[in-house]
Amino acid sequence: MPDQEPIPPPPSAGPGPEPGPQSTSTGLPSNVAAAIACIPLIGGIIFYILEKHDSFVRFYAMQSIIFGGAWILCWIVYLVAHTILGSIPAIGLFFAIILGIAWALISVAFLVIWIVTMVKAFTNVRWDIPYIGPIARQQMEKV
């Protein structure tokens, strides 16, 4: 059949989504390990110690350690401010209410950032938490 057209070659592989999940030194897929490493402080410390090779998981673990530390630092500042300002006679109750509302808003913001970070890690997207992500990258370069 000489009058048939030749079959064109398949398109070349261009830049597409990141490769699928790879196995880490913990035996978990990279995206699952990174998502678990996003658990503030505890998950970060565990996966930073256990994971030796996968920079994706180690980045999320370092970011989680810094994020958890920031969360604890904000909580300590809230407790100190609440104790000091809440004990002022006559206006202490006003300060306690204002600080309580501020802490509730800050806690919701931390929770939303944590959920977004876990979703991004699970979908294999490297996402920097504002202000914390660049610090985590600097720490990863030092190691």
For the chain, how many residues are written?
Answer: 143
Q: What is the pLDDT of residues 5-36, one digit of tens each?
A: 666 555 544 443 445 556 667 789 999 999 99
Q: How much is the mean pLDDT over the chain? A: 86
Ramachandran sector of residue 111 (left: φ over 0; alpha: ψ -120 to 50; beta: rest): alpha
Q: What is the pLDDT of residue 89?
A: 86
Helix (H) or strand (E) holding 61: helix 55-86
User: pLDDT (tens digit, 9 = 90+) per residue, 91-118?
Assistant: 889 999 999 999 999 999 999 999 999 9
Q: Which two tokens stand for residue 68?
A: 């958890």
Nearest to 65 by CA among 13, 12, 117, 105: 117
CA–CA separation, 47 and 51 (whole Å): 5
Give yes or no for residue 131 having a pLDDT over 60.
yes
User: Residue 26, Cβ neighbours under 10 Å: how many?
Assistant: 19
For residue 26, what pLDDT is reported? 78
Tell the burial category of 117 from Cβ atoms under 10 Å away from its Cβ (0-12, 13-18, 19+): buried
Eight-state DSSP code of residue 8: P
Stretch 68-90: mean pLDDT: 93
R_g (Cα) of the chain, nearest Å: 23
Q: Which residues pair with 29 in a beta bridge?
A: 23
- Give the pLDDT confidence of 29-66 residue by residue, as tens digits: 999 999 999 999 999 999 999 988 889 999 999 999 99
All structural domains of the chain with their residue ranges = 30-142
pTM over 0.85: no
